[in-house]
Structure 1
Amino acid sequence: MQSLDTTDRHALQRQLETMKQQVLDELRASAPSAQAALAEGDHDVKTHADEAEAERASDVQMAEAEVDRARLDEIEHALARLASGHYGICEDCGGEIPRARLLAQPAAIRCTACQAALEARGGR
């Protein structure tokens, strides 16, 4: 298994920072549209179907925002681990997370085996 070198760590940090900015941009973009939908819904809802559609759209936006917040937490956790020197170490077994896995999934906190075991137990 190949370990991360300094070049890899810098590239992964840049990738994580880019991912973080993208998620923040998505959260910022969704906030005004959610507020507009709520304000619009107060004035334009005419039927029960319109009301149900407005509620569904609001629920979808809230779910998307929650997914973005969870992604942001994962990215920030990875950046903190990178800064503290714990990046690339599996949180479950303490083993090294393979370089290929980190390059494919920079916010990974588990090695492939531990992640598979967690998912088999119904975890995330």
Structure 2
Amino acid sequence: MRHLDATDRQAIARQLDLLKQQVLEELRATAPSARLVPLEDVHEVKSHADEAEAERAADVHMAEVEVDYTRLEEIERALARLADGRYGVCEDCGAQIPRARLLAQPTAIRCTACQTAAEAHHRP
């Protein structure tokens, strides 16, 4: 973290806090209580296509919630690394993650080379 000055660390902390608030707002907006079926739809006759579409929509909703929770975890881990001085160090090779990368992607855990290698490893 030596390559980040106090101003950089403060800017990144603010950016992470803003990202966290955005994710929390998204999660609140998609809470199960916000997805209740209107009463007038309860007695409506539905076809198999309607049921399939409702199931697909529920699956998409759950996937979106999972993505939000994953983003929230990444943000929390970045804030923890920032607090304990481990922020900005590649988890794979131990090199410093470039300042520009951290400012663009504040939850980054790898330098560009290690991230590229990790993504290539996960490709089919």
Question: How does the TM-score come out when normalised to structure 1?
Answer: 0.89
Q: Deviations over 1:35-67 (max 9, x none)?
A: x14988765451111111111111110000000
Larger helix fraction of residues? 1
Deviation track 1:2-24 (CA, whole Å, cap 9, x = no partner) reads: 92110000000000000000000
Q: Against the structure 1 CA distance between its residues 17 and 44, is the aligned structure 2 distance closer, same or farther, given a 3 Å change threshold?
A: farther
Any idea what SS the aligned residue of 1:121 has? Answer: helix
Aligned length: 121
SS of match in other structure, 2:93: coil
Q: Structure 1 residues 37 and 80 mapped into 2: Cα distance closer, same or farther (>3 Å)?
A: farther
Flag the 1:57–1:99 CA change in 2: closer, same or farther, 3 A: same
2:54 is equivalent to residue 19 of structure 1 = no
Q: Provide the C-alpha distance between the structure 1 equivalents of 2:87 and 2:39, rounded to a whole number of angstroms.
A: 44
**Distance in 1 between residues matched to 2:40 and 2:120, nearest whole Å:** 44
1:33 match:
34
Q: How does 1:1-124 map to 2 (within 5 A)?
A: 3-31=3-31, 32-34=33-35, 36-37=36-37, 43-44=43-44, 46-122=46-122
* Same amino acid, percent of matched pairs: 67
**Larger relative contact order (CA 8 Å, sep ≥ 6):** 2
Gaps of 5+ in 2: none
TM-score computed with the length of structure 2 as normaliser? 0.89
Q: CA deviation at 1:80?
A: 0.3
